[in-house]
A and B are shown apart, each in its own frame.
Chain A
Amino acid sequence: MNEYEVENEGTIFIVTELDNGELLIVEKENI
C-alpha cells in the first residue's frame, strides 16, 4: 500500500494505491 498526494487542475487528491492495484482517492479538501 502506497499513499501520496497528487495535484490535478487545482485539486489536490490523496491517493492510496492498494495492494490489489486499485486506487483509493479522496480530495484533500474533504479532510
Chain B
Amino acid sequence: MGIITGPDRLGLWPNADLKNNVDNFTMGTWVPNGGPGGASYVKITGGSGSGYLGPSIEVDTTKSYRQVIYAKTFSPGSSGNNPGGHIGFACYDKNNNFIDLRNCGDIGNTTLSRAASTGDTSIYLTSADGWYQGSDVTNHTYYFRQILFFPASHPDYGVAHKYTRFNGMRYSALTQTASGDWEMVLENGTLPDYGYSLPAGTPVSRGAAGGTYNYALGAPTYPTTWTRYQTGVFTGENRNSGTPFRYSTKYVRFLILRNYNRRTESPQDHVWGLSRFFFGQVVDGRDYGTDRV
C-alpha cells in the first residue's frame, strides 16, 4: 500500500509502499523522508524521455477514479532548465494486452456493405465518412489508415466500434463504386483468416494512432517545491489519451515519460523527485483531498 490513510477501496498501486521501501518503482533512489509532508519519495536523475510503466492494478470502469502524484525539481540540468514530462497511466484489457488507440473504434465508424472473405484483396464499405478517400491514400502515414473489424460473433471484439485487436490490415485506396458503396484496396496483403465470419453489416472503424498512453496528469515541468498533480474524478470508457479509461480496460499501470520535456538536452543531469503515487476509486462521494493524499 502506498498511502496509508484516506477512504477505503483505495485501489493503490501495488509495490508502491514508499513508507516501508517496498518500492519496486525501479526508476530511481528511494529516500525515506523529505517528500511532501515529510513523506518518502523517489529521486531520479535525467531520464532522456524514456517510458516507465509501473505495476498493474485492476479497475472497474463503471466506477469513479482519481489519479494523484507529487513532483519536484531538486536541481535543473546544466542547461538551466527544470525537468518535466508526461505522467498518467496505461490501459490493458482482461488478458493484459496493452490497449492502443488503434484498438479503439469511434473514427470512421461504418459497416461492410458486402461480405468479406479470407484472401480478398479489397473490402467494401457502406460509408467513407471519416476515411481518407482516393485512388492512392498512401501519402497518409500507415498508422493513420488501419482497418478495425468488430465481428459480431466474437466474444470480446463483437461490440460495434468499441474494442478490437483485429487491426493489422491497412488500405491504399478507397473509391466509390457504381453501386454506391466504397471499394477499399488492401495494402499489406490479402485479408487474413480472423477465425470469425465477416458478413455484410459487420462494423468497421478506421484505426488511427495518437497519444500512445493516457497522459492524464499532463506534461508538466516540475517546480522547485513539491507540487500536486491530480486528474478530475473520471469514469467510463472511450477513445482518448487522457481520461477516462480506454475501451475494454480491465487493468491500468502507472506511466511516466521520464524527463521527456528535456529529452534532447545533454547531459541528462536534471534531478527530480516523485512522491505519493496514487490511483484510487472515489466511493460514495468520498474524495482524496490534500489532507489525505
Cα of A10 to Cα of B278 in the assembled complex, Å: 34
Cα of A31 to Cα of B262 in the assembled complex, Å: 10
- Across chains A and B, the number of contacting residue pairs, with CB separation under 8 Å, is 38
The interface bits of chain A over 1-31 (1 if a CB of B lies within 8 angstroms of the residue's CB, else 0) are 0000010100101011000000111110011
Asked if B212 and A6 make an inter-chain contact with CB atoms under 8 angstroms apart, the answer reads: no
Q: Which of B140, B141, B144, B260 contacts A26 (CB 8 A)?
A: B260
Most buried by A among B211, B215, B218, B257: B211
- Residues of A near B49 (CB, < 8 A) are 16
- Residues of B near A26 (CB, < 8 A) are 86, 211-212, 215, 219, 257, 260
Q: State the main secondary structure of chain B at its contact with A.
A: loop
Knowing A8-B208, A16-B49, A24-B212 are in contact, say whether A31-B219 is a contact too (CB < 8 A).
yes
Asked whether any CB of chain A lies closer than 8 Å to the CB of B143, the reply is yes
* 26 cross-chain CB contacts under 8 A: A6-B141, A8-B141, A8-B208, A11-B210, A13-B209, A13-B211, A23-B209, A24-B51, A24-B257, A25-B209, A25-B212, A26-B86, A26-B212, A26-B215, A26-B219, A26-B257, A26-B260, A27-B210, A27-B211, A27-B241, A30-B86, A30-B211, A30-B215, A30-B218, A31-B219, A31-B261
